[in-house]
Structure 1
Amino acid sequence: MAAEQYEVQAVSETFSRDGNPLWHIVSLKPDGTYHDYVFPQDSLEWRAAEYSIDPSDVETLLDVILHEPHKAPLNRDDPALMEGRISRAVIPSAGTRVGDYEATTLFNAETKKDAREAHLVRIQHAKANRVKVVSPAGKPDPLDKIRSKYRNEPKLIEDKRRAVNEGRSVLRKNLEAFQLKNRKEA
């Protein structure tokens, strides 16, 4: 199945109810209707921090953000899972207990490298099979507005990286406690 192409028509700035700056992207779908996508303006910084993507690689960061809404759901059809990218669950969910194997995500991956690789598999699958977001050919690129405003500020990214690492650490401790309990019971 070939991916549909969504051609970016416009990018504008807006704000959430609590005043946080957002990007609003309008894309033209093949059927002539429009797809709206709104996300926080600091999302590129967050993806750099979350997945250890080079913060100066704006194209990769933007590519990830633009295709995230089009990823396959995390279920048996997950392309990362189909490649065998699995990790032990760090929190229980429907049908999964702590310690069970499940698809690798940012929060259950042993390393950020594992998380990044699984996430990029999902993004590439979305682009190849679901939706590929493209800039208009032969016209000014509306995405340049995001590129020009992106702040690759090491301090901001490091603060975000620290927050992600703390969250991942708490979840990993949950898994370690579960595994320790099971060893004692065995």
Structure 2
Amino acid sequence: MRRAVLDATLDLLHRDGLNGVAVADVAAAAGVHETSIYRRWGKKENLIVEALLDEAEELIPIPDTGTLRDDLTAYATSLTTYLMSPIGTAFDRALAALGDDPASVHTRSQYWQARTARSTSIVTRAIERGEIADVDPLRVIQMLVAPLHFRVVMTHEPLTPDLPAQVVDIVLNGLKGGPEVAGSK
């Protein structure tokens, strides 16, 4: 049942966008009762977040290449590709536009906590390998993804193929990192 409901939710999201998803339509498409959906997910927003997190597992995998630079670049590249898709752009903007009421705060927190819980493993592995000093993995991931989300949500600037590597260089080398930081060649 869970798989059928999540697949139906994703189909509707891709076809009709975030505002086009109704629990009644998901239930009909999945062949389940609406009450089953409400019993499991509580509300539509929880269902949408879980469906998008499920999709993100596939579209934005957590790489393990053996090096921090390659892992961060692969992760940022996958995220960029997702954010450039219509559903990725729409979801990012809708998540940012959620209000500050308790339900919206919970939905937004739920999504970001789930995503960062997995993505911080990239940094944790690098620390364990002795590749970098003991740093806060969450801060590293936030510094990596913030410029990408900023362009989608705030400035509506395009995400270019070279942007992930440029951001990785700045994160890893800092502003005094030397020629690699110039990355805007």
Q: TM-score of the superposition, structure 1-length normalised?
A: 0.29
Select the structure with the greater relative contact order (CA < 8 A; seq sep ≥ 6).
1
> Which of the two has greater strand per residue?
1
> Which of the two has greater helix per residue?
2
